[in-house]
Structure 1
């Protein structure tokens, strides 16, 4: 949901997803003497009112801050024009009051506040559902809540609490999708990793209540672990094909059909049914109640069931959807592209979408970033671009000042006020450690938002060799989905970008103190937002100021 209040001198622009709200502020004119902003949140369901807290304080008030201490923003205001709240509950309404703070730290003076109301999006709205797990086991919240070490070594009660916290709706979204299948209906699934016992139990329970379940599973790379898990779950006869002839059978989807065999609904995304896929690395699940799309996926699944070679499968794939140029992608529609394809043309199209952005471009790349996307994100454009990669070694050089690249990271050892954190590698075995989402966002707040999401890693093998599926959403009909993906992207980028910096040998010391006035040179934190349009902070402010509401 998007909301704004531009009636006062202080203007507030808000975007809310399912769990995250992003607030961007501006003023009609530069507010001289502004010390910062105070944020108050009211939960409109419970009536609970709270001042939001920050990590910095005024040295003249708190000369020796306690490591880890947080400070209410009405006493130690935020010196920035963007604020994020990562604690929303899906479907709930919240009112934020943003107050400009002037004066001196010892004698604060509050200007007229501006209020804005948002409603967090429901994860499932009856036609689409977007689900992100927490994806940040390497976090202070996890370190404070749970014991160190592998999840499998925890006491059962601790393990279940940790998995519930880490899932944050992803397993629950899958459970809801499976639960919508009624006795006599069909579920057709194709999965790469298929070993997580809770998700397998959900599917077996569906079969037990009369849902006709049929599976195509990887029999090569994860063949041994998949077979062992399926055997332990008593589901061997539900596997119709062990996929052996694909280079990598990388799909992760389910199709629900009515009792008459008519496709109804689809589950897809980046989530392997493994411990690390559901609870460790960040992943996405996307459910769509769209008969036409589900029918395409069913046709693809039927082709996979025969365990075809690439040369046998490719004509089916291209018959389902030929390549489309970026300009030819239909508006207010969802396009599906399957692999293996006859070449890498769609990879060029995805890069062209990034190249054609006008206001904002974001991407998540779990593995190496193909040169097409390096060029597209590095192209000299006068607006922000952001990229997340799984590891520092997979990051590429940002040659444009408006491009920011963050690598997955956790705090390796206690530093300043922060505890040591555990990446997903410390909790689970196998796979990427931080991000596994495959995501592109192009002008998500503009008039024609574009979302590219699915199982493929934006690489040549994922396009012309592996079994894969991708969805392209284009147009204002998908504004809700764009808001969810964007706010979750911002959450992840902020999380990893800070830890990437904190782990850097070249970083300076963390500065816990707020500015109490201009420096000797006259510089203040406000300069990044007013009068200096070359700064990324200034350009980011404009993205929200110009968003379509």
Structure 2
């Protein structure tokens, strides 16, 4: 029986995919065992069992492993992987009596490639936080309100308190990563140049204060809303940053530069830091999607990319200086320079190259209502999607229209018309956009047809079985990443990240940076693991929430483990596994 397995990792988890060429008789699922030199194999934790619990029943004191509750799927993830340690996994078909430890089916196990969960890729770093709050682990740690939901107020207090254990758990490595260049400047006599949007987290603000004399900050206006006397929500110009702005002016003086854009739909959306040596050489830049707030650290999914390269850092420093000279006008000089095609800048020997775009980069300051011309940065992203050989992964906050979503829809239809493969997995934070684009078309009857799963976000909406009600979000954003990954398992892989929301509006009206990395499979696989983690976390929850809204109850979208081998049938109806395998195992297709 033909079979394959794949392990990919980032700083926080390992994601596993595997496939078999045919159904396995008597198989009740798979036990997943982590293999580490010098240690006994460890069966991974399981979350769904054979016997459904009754409402009010207590969960098991010790969570069963996949030796008892097997995985009835062809994917899983290890959230408890030891970091900076080479490991592998054995995926073992099992059989036996439900409720007891299951027996291995001889001769059919698969072992994955060796893998290390790390944030270090070559000389660069890729860091993802743990900002998904709709989890059972967090729900159990928070007090419950009258509705049974975990307390949002309690969570806000936890994540806003430096040193708090819940804050530390959700932020993961994000706090250290965001402040790493500031620390380098203090330790080595260099200087940092920051361009920031939302800045309210006390620990990050203190880090900037500690760098007095070694930091300059361009702080954009970040608006908020407040209820007026009639209870209507009104926009408050710079309401988010006003207090921080006053506080930092007192400490940093003229090293804090106010970038107060005109009132309207313009935002200085950057979140980057450039490190410059004592000798004046730009050496490194930190970018990504993470705002410097408690929610950005702890209550949204976000990514941080630290690039150690003189030429790329110099390009960001030049943009920082042009933002300063622009005097908050988003004027024609800034726009013209940003519209120039960027050079391909090497990430190192055999590590691919990056192209860095900046916004605003159009002549017009606002996107036309009808037939807007494609901004140059988005034209390159759209072309990368069109050129995909196998598929595209994405995470999106709120992009407006047109965006990558329209392009993905068009390309999927073109591939369908041509009966060509096209694998899509993505998640959208904005509820209105998610309602428009959510789709689950993956159990295809034809091999060469688009295989798409696009989901919105949700938490478990009510208590059932051993599941507790979850807090779906804290504030406006849930997924705050802005990520596209194209063909991650090929040498032509592409990763798109940065602050850019991946729609035309951002290029027309916002200060943004967009990093397009080509040919670095390690970075592509790290981002792939993150996207798959987020998509698969929310896919089931979004279905539960949909069932609850229809009055069906969450339990109608949930089933316990099948006590027969019939759970495999759906995977071998049509071409589900074959279609998926074209994306994950392109070299063996």
With the length of structure 2 as denominator, give the TM-score of the two structures: 0.80
Answer whether contact 2:267 2:511 (CA < 8 A) is retained: yes
Deviation at 1:293, TM superposition (A): 0.8
Matched length: 516
SS at match of 1:271: coil
Answer whether contact 1:448 1:474 (CA < 8 A) is retained: yes
The answer as to 2:253 corresponding to 1:206 is no
Aligned partner of 1:421 in structure 2 is: 470
Aligned partner of 2:423 in structure 1 is: 384
Structure 1 43/30 Cα, relative in aligned 2: closer, same or farther at 3 Å? same
Cα shift readout 1:211-248 (whole Å, capped 9, x = no counterpart): 62111111463634424224435434154421124621
Aligned partner of 1:394 in structure 2 is: 433
SS at match of 2:130: coil
Counting only pairs closer than 5 Å after superposition, residues 182-331 of structure 1 correspond to structure 2 as 182-207=187-212, 212-219=214-221, 221=223, 223-232=238-247, 234-245=250-261, 247-306=266-325, 307-310=327-330, 311-319=332-340, 321=342
Answer whether contact 2:283 2:310 (CA < 8 A) is retained: yes
Structure 1 159/409 Cα, relative in aligned 2: closer, same or farther at 3 Å? farther
Answer whether contact 1:240 1:305 (CA < 8 A) is retained: no
The answer as to 2:89 corresponding to 1:96 is yes
Cα shift readout 1:282-318 (whole Å, capped 9, x = no counterpart): 1111111111111111111111112142223112323
Deviation at 1:15, TM superposition (A): 1.5
Structure 1 158/271 Cα, relative in aligned 2: closer, same or farther at 3 Å? closer
Deviation at 1:412, TM superposition (A): 3.1
Deviation at 1:117, TM superposition (A): 5.2
Aligned partner of 1:516 in structure 2 is: 563
Structure 1 245/19 Cα, relative in aligned 2: closer, same or farther at 3 Å? closer
Aligned partner of 1:334 in structure 2 is: 354
Instruction: Supply the distance in 2 between the matched residues of 1:33 and 1:341 (Cα, whole angstroms).
Output: 60
SS at match of 2:564: coil
Instruction: Supply the distance in 2 between the matched residues of 1:77 and 1:399 (Cα, whole angstroms).
Output: 28
Structure 1 403/104 Cα, relative in aligned 2: closer, same or farther at 3 Å? same
Deviation at 1:483, TM superposition (A): 1.3
Q: 1:130 aligns with which of 114, 119, 126?
A: 126
Structure 1 28/386 Cα, relative in aligned 2: closer, same or farther at 3 Å? closer
Answer whether contact 1:22 1:487 (CA < 8 A) is retained: yes
SS at match of 1:194: coil
SS at match of 2:120: coil
Aligned partner of 2:105 in structure 1 is: 110
With the length of structure 1 as denominator, give the TM-score of the two structures: 0.85
Aligned CA-pair RMSD: 3.1
Larger displacement relative to structure 2 (295-304 or 386-395): 386-395
Answer whether contact 2:161 2:167 (CA < 8 A) is retained: no
Which consecutive residues of structure 1, in runs of 5 or more, have no partner in the other structure? 1-7, 325-329, 519-523
Structure 1 164/32 Cα, relative in aligned 2: closer, same or farther at 3 Å? same
Structure 1 270/20 Cα, relative in aligned 2: closer, same or farther at 3 Å? same
Answer whether contact 1:18 1:121 (CA < 8 A) is retained: yes
Which consecutive residues of structure 2, in runs of 5 or more, have no partner in the other structure? 144-150, 224-236, 345-349, 363-372, 416-420, 442-450
Cα shift readout 1:397-446 (whole Å, capped 9, x = no counterpart): 35782221111212233233221222342xxxx5x331111111111112
The answer as to 2:28 corresponding to 1:35 is yes
